[in-house]
């Protein structure tokens, strides 16, 4: 992909050119044709609002079919939710009546703050313990991670909760072997896959998580407010409504709780969900496997240039399995991240999270289809020129 091609693709987005936006991971970006489809649905609904609720099941169903094909799963095992935070909350709320005092929910110390809160809230109501088991960095291999994590399992572990791709450290954890062991041990598995759809091909039926939530609005180019919750058939009976509405009845358990308890809750704007098939089509028409590969290589090159320059050790193996388009670049441990961030914003117009996680300093770079090499070069120039002035005396 040449610079001019990347420039051309940038025109397919609404993004301002006044900033170098290297933070797709936080909120995503929706291209014009997908956004137009989203708005077309809004107009459609306004033409005859009365048909809106009536045709909702049919419309939702069509969109879910496309998403299920994309995620390699039965669309009947999917519910649309507004975001991954909601997906996690549906699960934590559902498991509240199942967890008992003393039970343990095992997770890592790499989890996303809002979702930690959801678990702490649910565990607080039940007397269960939420355990952020430390996974030290660097991680050297899949086995290294699996053994580090599994050492936290005890006879009281009832649930394993993991980010598939982590927020503060941008690592993609290998899940399959853990889930095999969990199933053998009778432990439920819950995944926060907020960053994964679009960055990786998902085979949800094959992965074997009991509950998996992921965002369409981060890396799949869908409008904001689009995410899904995938629930294995044999645990769907555990789902309870987060918002109680038409789908719940006092004397009857729903046969389709994903729809009745999760998707149906009063009058709402469903247009963003209707545009998810257009987002899938946008990715297909741009040959997403190639796009992702190019973005990954651009990110990897940037990572290596900066880490080599400062002599920092990568926090994980430098392979696609560990990071795709969300790239963890390790900076020296004694970097003043606030000062560096200010320079990058004020002088380079670079937007990117500069994260302090334990003693590690991580620049979390996002490379998406619209990112140009010029932008990455400017980021490298900014960091290599100014970082030495941002080092403190001690780490």
Give the interface with ligand PLP as residue ranges (CB under 6 A).
26, 83-85, 112, 114-115, 163, 167, 192, 194-195, 215
Least Å from the CB of residue 215 to ligand PLP: 5
Least Å from the CB of residue 170 to ligand PLP: 9
Nearest to 382 by CA among 329, 331, 343, 332: 343
Burial class (CB in 10 A: 0-12, 13-18, 19+), 38: buried
Least Å from the CB of residue 15 to ligand PLP: 18
Long-range contacts from 133-136, C-beta under 8 angstroms, 24+ separation: 133/106, 133/107, 133/108, 133/109, 134/108, 134/109, 135/108, 135/109, 135/110
Least Å from the CB of residue 192 to ligand PLP: 5
Judged by CB, which is closer to ligand PLP: 66, or 114? 114
Question: Could you tell me how far CA 146 lies from the centroid of its own chain?
Answer: 21
Q: Where are the beta strands (DSSP E) in 90-226?
A: 104-108, 129-133, 157-163, 188-193, 211-215
CA pair distance 220, 66, nearest whole angstrom: 13
Judged by CB, which is closer to ligand PLP: 6, or 115? 115
Judged by CB, which is closer to ligand PLP: 196, or 390? 196
Least Å from the CB of residue 131 to ligand PLP: 18
> If you count them, how many residues does the chain have?
395
Judged by CB, which is closer to ligand PLP: 30, or 84? 84
Judged by CB, which is closer to ligand PLP: 218, or 296? 218
Virtual torsion, Cα 264, 270, 272, 276, nearest 10 deg: 60
CA pair distance 147, 153, nearest whole angstrom: 10
Judged by CB, which is closer to ligand PLP: 35, or 378? 35
């Amino acid at each position: 992909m040449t610079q001019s091609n990347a420039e051309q693709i940038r025109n397919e987005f609404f993004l301002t050119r006044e900033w170098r936006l290297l933070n797709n991971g936080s909120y995503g970006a929706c291209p014009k044709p997908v956004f137009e489809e989203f708005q077309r649905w809004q107009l459609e609904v306004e033409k005859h609002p009365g048909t809106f609720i009536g045709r909702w099941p049919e419309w939702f169903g069509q969109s879910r079919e496309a998403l299920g094909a994309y995620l390699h799963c039965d669309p009947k095992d999917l519910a649309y939710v507004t975001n991954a935070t909601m997906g996690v909350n549906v699960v934590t709320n559902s498991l509240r009546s199942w967890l008992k005092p003393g039970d343990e929910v095992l997770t890592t110390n790499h989890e996303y703050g809002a979702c930690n809160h959801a678990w702490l809230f649910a565990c607080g109501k039940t007397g269960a313990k939420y355990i952020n088991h430390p996974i030290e960095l660097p991680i050297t291999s899949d086995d290294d991670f699996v053994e580090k994590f599994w050492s936290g399992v005890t006879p009281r572990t009832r649930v394993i909760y993991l980010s598939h791709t982590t927020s503060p450290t941008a690592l993609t954890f290998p899940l399959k072997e853990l889930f095999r062991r969990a199933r053998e041990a009778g432990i439920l598995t819950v995944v926060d896959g907020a960053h994964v759809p679009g960055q990786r091909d998902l085979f949800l039926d094959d992965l074997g998580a009991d509950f998996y939530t992921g965002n369409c609005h981060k890396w799949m180019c869908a409008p904001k407010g689009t995410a899904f919750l995938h629930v294995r058939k044999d645990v769907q009976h555990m789902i309870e409504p987060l918002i109680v509405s038409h789908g719940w009845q006092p004397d009857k358990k729903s046969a389709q709780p994903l729809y009745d308890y999760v998707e149906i809750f009063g009058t709402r704007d469903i247009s963003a969900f209707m545009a998810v098939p257009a987002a899938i089509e946008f990715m297909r028409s741009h040959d997403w496997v190639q796009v992702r590969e190019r973005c990954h290589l651009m990110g990897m090159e940037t990572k290596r240039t900066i880490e080599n320059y400062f002599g920092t050790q990568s926090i994980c193996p430098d392979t696609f399995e560990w990071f795709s388009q969300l790239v963890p670049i390790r900076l020296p441990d004694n970097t003043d991240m606030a000062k560096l961030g200010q320079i990058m914003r004020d002088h380079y117009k670079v937007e990117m999270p500069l994260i302090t996680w334990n003693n590690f300093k991580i620049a979390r770079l996002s490379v998406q289809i619209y990112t140009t090499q010029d932008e990455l070069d400017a980021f490298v120039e900014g960091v290599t020129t100014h970082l030495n002035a941002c080092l403190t005396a001690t780490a």
